[in-house]
Structure 1
Amino acid sequence: MQNKNEITRQREQKRFDSSHSQEERNEHGQFATPYPLASVIAKDLFSRTGKDISVLEPSCGTGAFISALLSMSDRVKITGVEKDSSLCKTAQQLWSSDACQIINDDFFDYASMESQQFDAIISNPPYSRHHHLSQSEKRFYSQLATTFSGVCLSGLAGLHAYFLLTGTGMLKEDGVGSWLIPSELFSVNYGAPIRRFLTQSVSLERIHFFDPENLQFDDALVTSCVAIIRKKKPDSKSNAIFTYGDFQSPRKTVEISLADLSKLNKWQHLEDYSGQTEFGGRVLGDYFKAKRGIATGGNSFFIRSRSEWHQEGISDEWLSPILPSPRNFHLSEVTSDESGWPQESDTALLNIPKSSSYADLPPSVQNYLNTCPEKIRNGYILKHRTPWYSIGATASAPIICTYMSRSEEAPFRFIRNRSNAIMTNTYLGLYPQTSMSETELDNMCAALNEIPAEVLINGGREYGGGLKKLEPRELMFLPISF
């Protein structure tokens, strides 16, 4: 049964959310924990620590976790820290007491001055991406995280990573931290130092991955997980528990030794873990290099049908064949006419060489360039490209990969390209490391399309709403039998 204060908190939270734009909340990572989820995480925490404890909530917001903790124990002592003054004011009005202190401060400023250590931490830290952090903030957060944990983070780390490392350093020995964080931390490259920290410096008790289609936050497109960490040096026989689905009643539980876990680059998909930590065969990177396609800076201006370009008076001399967007192109093969143009598509790119000065261009090309919309002309890519209208030469790839999908059955497609068509950055191109015959390329493309869907998904990463993505480096580590 929710008490009166919790009902008030939810009303005030809804008011706050409705008065701030999605862009503002994305920038500051302000996505409140749903109370039912806060309750099950708090219950799990108490099962590991007992209820007569001191708890730090380093980004308490209006206090969903505080509300859950207080509803379960009258012996818990809580310190909540919140940077946003309006959220902090709500939390203070609702929860401040002898048992609960709410502090209006930046957590990292608080941590740098506070010597108290806590029995437990429970937190849904801000989901701010690295590009929302200034260089001075990154330096301060990084120095503090290193001081508290010994871990040095990449500049690509999001704010939640700094919270986790600094907060864990504020735990007493044998203290427990329960962290509701984006699951991508356990797959992306910038998370590698944290993964080492969790297998070597502390005891990782459990990571629970929610299903990608089951977003825990209605308005944040991230797939979430709960990482439960005990501040205790692991021994040689320590194991971690990975669970999937519902937090209280998981559909799948996997136990893995920290020794084996430390050998794995990705932790997000271990449902079918069998004890094999290394793949002894060949990987795609043994045969190919992967490159992302071109970024035009304005596809609507630079890409049209070949016939439309001809109607503008622009000849093939200034055009290159280019594949349509993956959502509009579903074939497994691109064939070619005698001149190298695809027979399956007439989409063309305005591809002016960098050596061509504006004055030397045909009047038809000059006239078209003069129609470039101001929004595109002043965009980041065009403003930083010289000359702005020249995208630059690129070679066609004999095999092309679609690297974003929501499909479980066929997440990524491999397309055999026999034409001179290039691609936009909605594709990845595979370029052979050494010379390969047409037959060898045919066989390789067929082998890639036979890779099981779960292997492809496990090799990449997943985001909110079931979006799956395969980055060039991840593509290179796909096992391949050829």
Structure 2
Amino acid sequence: MKNMLLTKEASKEKLRGGFYTPKEIADFMLKWAVNGNNEMDILEPSCGDGIFLQLIQENNIQYSSLTAIEFDEIEYEKSLNIGLENSTIINDDFHNYCLNTEDRFDLIIGNPPYIRYQYFSKEQQGLASQIFTNVDLKYSKLTNAWVSFVVGSSQLLKEQGKIAFVLPAEVLQVSYAKQLREFLAHFYNKINIVSFEKLVFPEIQQEVVLLLCEKNETNSHKIEHLELKNASELKNLDISKLENPQKRIDFKSNKWTFYFLEQEEIDFLEKLQKSKKVPKFGNYADVEVGITTGSNPFFTVPLSTVQFYNLEKYAKPLVGRSVQVPSLIFTEKDWLKNRDSEARTHLLSFPKMKDLNGSIGARDYLEFGVEQEINKGYKCGIREEWQIIPSQKLSDALFIRRNHLYPKLIINEANAYTTDTMHRVNIKNDTNLKAFTASYYNSLSFAFAEISGRSHGGGVLELMPSEVENIMLPYHESNEEIVGKIDKMIRSNKSIDEILEFTNKKILIDNYKFSKEEVDLADRIWKKLSKRRLNRD
């Protein structure tokens, strides 16, 4: 059996596997899991430096049997040397062990490696895929190792049993974990998620959660979310608080960011989704990624580069960064201001080499690109001619992919092209562009943007095109009247709270007949979710 690719063979940024569980987290997980039971059969599927095994020894935790798996020989030796009684330490890949063992466990606990699919050997990909197939799940190339660890571990539990894992917060929100969320919701009767306001692993900007699940042969499926300031608060947390989760699990597999909310807030959002009272963004517009140049530093340039190489003939207006967009209407004046400040405001759109004719400057610039090996980059290398950028289409509006305070939708009045830092938004027939854009600026749409997207370290909210199309958008043609006012308010640095106070009245109360209480609820949801994300700056 080949070993998994280890951190020393690939950078830590690519593999989230090299970050060991802090003692206070491991301590708490064991306390929750064992809870006075001294006859458990325990499995640690990826024991790493052996922190869970050490704590079991130090705290004199009693058990019937203990099995630990570790694929790295050095780490395996460390765990072996802890010398736990009545334990079996196995040097193997968990996927292989999972598919071949007949043992079943009361508790499976650990911090699985965060390793992307492409770092698995073909054999490992096959094993992980088989684990998924065994429970009728589809395995995809986006799936990270921690997902197959959770699915495989669940299959190794007895009829009544618990799992306790440290996982990336992606489990709550990314689309590739959607079927995992569905699986967990049906498989377990009690799910507790513990998250932290402050990053546990600041060095990797990776937000983590503790996933604590229990199956008990009842028909009840409940979930609870608990957020602490930091990991050190765990030692004072009463585990009885986690014994009876209260929130009903929604089997329609909404992202689990829902469960950061109170039941009243969840019910409000679910009722809205069910009633279809408010249409979705995708009813009025198609969203697609911006232009993939293959090398933004080479193909997106300031005016000085255009002038130096005489590239005017090939330069198209570009808006490439969110800081270049001051408001919800991006005007030609805005573009000129960016251009004059030496921002990268031109997209270089080259023809075939044979059509360059007398363009000496363009030939020189492309030669410079070859010297820099731009032509050998992956995206450029697969093109028929490396300098020809595909899909150079303009769009009616722009939606910024990664946002900070709130996610922005912008009318592209300047007819500027955009790179994949922004999504291209094209209006469907009979939709009024100004009314559509204004209709987006309200607390309900912002709340759904938070739920649809995923948050990253640094307080960033990222949305993919399908997630943008899923945002609720209370469109009304009369909202065209307020687009100028919103634009003015943003440009004069009015707070987003002041802007929403104005827009919510027109968009939600006047046009969609929401009560003031409902609008306050939507606003509270947006503030709660965005504040949670921004706290991680």
TM-score with structure 2 length normalisation? 0.77
Tell me whether 199-208 or 278-287 shows the greater mean CA deviation.
199-208
Higher-helix-fraction structure: 2
Matched, 1:471 2:476: no
Which residue is equivalent to 1:35? 23
Which residue is equivalent to 2:254? 265
CA distance 1:123–1:434, shift in 2 (3 Å)? same
- Kindly provide the amino acid, as one letter, of the partner of residue 229 in structure 1: C
Shift of 1:359: 5.6
Which among 379, 383, 386 is matched to residue 385 of structure 1? 383
Shift of 1:22: 7.3
Gaps of 5+ in 2: 1-5, 340-344, 476-537
Q: How does 1:252-331 map to 2 (within 5 A)?
A: 255-258=246-249, 261-273=250-262, 274=264, 275-276=267-268, 277=270, 278-279=272-273, 280=276, 281-315=278-312, 317-331=313-327
Shift of 1:168: 1.1
Give CA-to-partner distance per residue, 1:395-432, whole Å, 9 cap, x none. 22222111213x3xx23222221122110100112111
Give CA-to-partner distance per residue, 1:97-145, whole Å, 9 cap, x none. 3233322111122223321111101011011122323444222211134
Matched, 1:177 2:163: yes
Which among 414, 417, 424 is matched to residue 422 of structure 1? 417
Which residue is equivalent to 1:168? 154
Whether the 8 Å contact between 1:334 and 1:343 is mirrored in structure 2 is no
Q: State the SS of the aligned residue for 2:171.
A: helix
Shift of 1:392: 2.9
Matched, 1:239 2:222: yes
Shift of 1:352: 1.7
Which residue is equivalent to 2:408? 413
Which among 325, 332, 343 is matched to residue 336 of structure 2? 343
CA RMSD in angstroms, aligned pairs only:
2.6
CA distance 1:427–1:234, shift in 2 (3 Å)? farther
Instruction: Give percent identity, aligned residues only.
Output: 23
Whether the 8 Å contact between 1:282 and 1:481 is mirrored in structure 2 is yes
Matched, 1:146 2:133: yes
Shift of 1:182: 1.4
Q: Matches of 2:182 and 2:297 in 1, distance apart?
A: 45
Q: Matches of 1:72 and 1:61 in 2, distance apart?
A: 19
Q: Matches of 1:31 and 1:56 in 2, distance apart?
A: 20
Which among 44, 52, 55 is matched to residue 42 of structure 2? 55
Which residue is equivalent to 2:120? 133
Matched, 1:105 2:103: no
Q: Matches of 1:185 and 1:284 in 2, distance apart?
A: 25
Matched, 1:227 2:211: yes
Shift of 1:362: 1.9
Q: Matches of 2:428 and 2:56 in 1, distance apart?
A: 57
Q: Matches of 2:406 and 2:121 in 1, distance apart?
A: 36
Q: Matches of 1:321 and 1:359 in 2, distance apart?
A: 20
Matched, 1:78 2:61: no
Q: Matches of 2:409 and 2:386 in 1, distance apart?
A: 32
Whether the 8 Å contact between 1:56 and 1:78 is mirrored in structure 2 is yes
Q: State the SS of the aligned residue for 1:127.
A: coil
Shift of 1:462: 1.5
TM-score with structure 1 length normalisation? 0.85
Shift of 1:23: 0.5
Whether the 8 Å contact between 1:241 and 1:256 is mirrored in structure 2 is yes
Give CA-to-partner distance per residue, 1:192-224, whole Å, 9 cap, x none. 22222122233243122333xx22224333221
Which residue is equivalent to 1:480? 473
- Structure 1 stretches of 4+ with a deviation exceeding 4 A read 19-22
Q: Matches of 2:356 and 2:401 in 1, distance apart?
A: 40
Tell me whether 154-163 or 452-461 shows the greater mean CA deviation.
452-461
Q: State the SS of the aligned residue for 2:332.
A: coil
